[in-house]
């Protein structure tokens, strides 16, 4: 019964920390990532100049924040329950999934613009900042993959240390 309680505590903590950090990192991503200028006129909207570096910089900043969060949250969960890495793996993956989705949702909704409304109401050409978006949807997997890699590295190090200890004691 104690095992189940501790496992559910780690998973609950992972979900809670993933949600809170995802919301906070969404705001940080929104403030950190550069925006691409968007020209809006009555006929439509298009980027001012083709600027793939603006979209790439937004994706790279999202990935950097996700890697940082994956490391920090997973190490915190490992400190909480290192003796049972499977529960930490589940908690880390859930925290990563929830955190990445919330980070994307908050970051893309802050500063969003009703572009269709602007197109319908503008008479002249206007230049605005395009809403923030993740151009490569696979970036939503960076946080969970980082969590899995951290847990793999720690589990491998624990196994290697135990194997070396057993080899020494059998001599």
- Give the predicted TM-score (pTM) of the model: 0.85
Average pLDDT over residues 79-99: 90
Specify the number of domains making up the chain: 1
pLDDT band of 63, cuts 50, 70, 90: very high
What is the length of the chain? 171
Tell me: pLDDT of 34 over 70: yes
Range of the domain at 51: 2-169
**Does position 133 have pLDDT exceeding 80, yes or no?**
yes
C-alpha distances in Å from residue 31, one per residue of 110, 117, 130: 9, 24, 14
Query: Binning pLDDT at 50, 70 and 90, where does residue 24 land?
Result: very high
Burial of 32 (0-12, 13-18, 19+ CB in 10 A): middle
| Averaged pLDDT for residues 121-147 | 85
């Amino acid at each position: 019964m104690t095992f189940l309680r501790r496992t559910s505590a780690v998973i609950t903590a992972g979900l809670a920390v993933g949600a809170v950090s995802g919301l906070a990192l969404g705001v940080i991503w929104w403030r950190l990532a550069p925006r691409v200028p968007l020209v809006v006129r009555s006929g439509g909207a298009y980027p001012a100049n083709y600027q793939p570096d603006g979209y790439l910089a937004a994706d790279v900043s999202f990935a950097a924040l996700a890697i940082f969060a994956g490391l920090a949250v997973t190490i915190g969960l490992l400190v909480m329950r290192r003796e049972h890495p499977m529960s930490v793996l589940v908690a880390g993956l859930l925290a990563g999934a929830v955190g990445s989705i919330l980070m994307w949702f908050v970051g893309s909704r802050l500063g969003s613009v009703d572009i269709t409304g602007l197109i319908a109401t503008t008479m002249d050409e206007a230049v605005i900042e395009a809403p923030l978006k993740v151009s490569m949807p696979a970036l939503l997997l960076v946080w969970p993959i980082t969590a899995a890699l951290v847990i793999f590295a720690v589990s491998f190090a624990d196994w290697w240390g135990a194997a070396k200890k057993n080899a020494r004691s059998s001599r």
